[in-house]
Amino acid sequence: MADALRAPQQDRSRDKLERIYEVSVELLVEGGWDAVTVGSVERRSGVSRGAFYLRFPNREALLDYTRKRLIATVGKDQDAAFERARAAGAETLDVAVVAAVEAIAHVFRRHGPALLRLDRQDAEREAEKSAGAKAMNRLSQEFRSVLEPLTGADQAWRTHLEFATEIVFSMLVLRSRPRVTFSEHTRRDWDTFIHDVSDAVTDYLGARIPPAARGEA
C-alpha cells in the first residue's frame, strides 16, 4: 500500500503530508489505530478530505505509511543515540552501561507512547511481530556495541548482554505504561530512574562477566 502513496511535488503539498503524519501519530498515541481515521485526521489537521485523497488512496494506505515512517524515524533516532554512546568511549563497565541505558531511554522519551501503540489487531499482525522481533534484535546489537569494547564479543557473555537489553527495555515499557503494582518507580525523575536501572544492569553483568574478561584487574 505504501507504493500507492503519491510523492508530494510542492512545499505546500509536503507541509500537508507532514501535518497528516503528525496528527496520525497524535491520534495513535491517544487511542490506538482505531482512532486514526480519515475523518479524525481531516478535522484535527485542517487538511481537506480532497487533499487527503490526493495523497492516500484509502485509510489503510495512511496506516501503513504512518507505521513505516514511525519505525524508520525511531530507527534513525536510535542509531544516532547509540552512535553518541559509542563515541563517548567509556573505559569502565558502569560508565558504558549508563551510556547504553541513556541511549535507549532517549528513544523512549521521544517515541515511547507511540511505540507502545504500534501493534495492530488485523491481518498484518504476524508481519508486524516479525518487524518487532527484528527491531528488538537491532536494539540488542546496538546495546552490545557499547559494552563489547569492555566485555569482549565472546559468545559466552552475549546471552547476558542480550538479557541486560531486555531488562532495560522492560523497565522503560513499565515506566511508559505503568501498572498499579509497579507505580512507585514512575514517580522518580528520569535521571534517578536511569541511574537506578544502570546500577541494576551493572550489578547483573558484573556478577556474571569476570573482571578479567572486562579488562579489569
- pTM of the full predicted structure? 0.80
Rounded to an integer, what distance in angstroms lies between the CA atom of residue 65 and that of residue 75?
15
**Is it the case that residue 153 has pLDDT exceeding 60?**
yes
Rounded to an integer, what distance in angstroms lies between the CA atom of residue 163 and that of residue 170?
10
Q: With contact defined as beta carbons under 8 Å apart, do 73 and 111 qualify?
A: yes
Looking at every residue in the chain, the average pLDDT score rounds to: 84
Residue type, 115: L
Q: Show the cell assigned to 174.
A: 513499565
Report the half-sphere exposure of 65 (CA within 13 A, side-chain side): 24
116 pLDDT band, cuts 50/70/90, is confident
**Is it the case that residue 166 has pLDDT exceeding 60?**
yes
Residue 61's pLDDT is 95
Nearest CA among 155, 151, 159 for reference residue 212: 151
**Is it the case that residue 157 has pLDDT exceeding 60?**
yes
Higher pLDDT, 11 or 46: 46
Residue 123's pLDDT is 46
- Dihedral over Cα of 53, 55, 60, 62: its sign: negative
Per-residue pLDDT tens for 31-50? 999 999 999 999 999 999 99
Residue 184's pLDDT is 60
Residue 83's pLDDT is 96
Nearest CA among 209, 80, 213, 78 for reference residue 140: 78
Q: Find all residues with CB under 8 Å of 37, minimum gap 6, and list them.
A: 59
- Does residue 6 sit in helix, strand or coil? coil
Q: Show the cell assigned to 58.
A: 484509502
Mean pLDDT, residues 69-89 taken together: 94
**Is it the case that residue 183 has pLDDT exceeding 80?**
no
How many other CB atoms are there within 10 angstroms of residue 130's CB atom? Answer: 10
Per-residue pLDDT tens for 201-215? 999 999 988 775 555
The crossing angle, in degrees rounded to 10, of helices 59-87 and 93-115 is 170
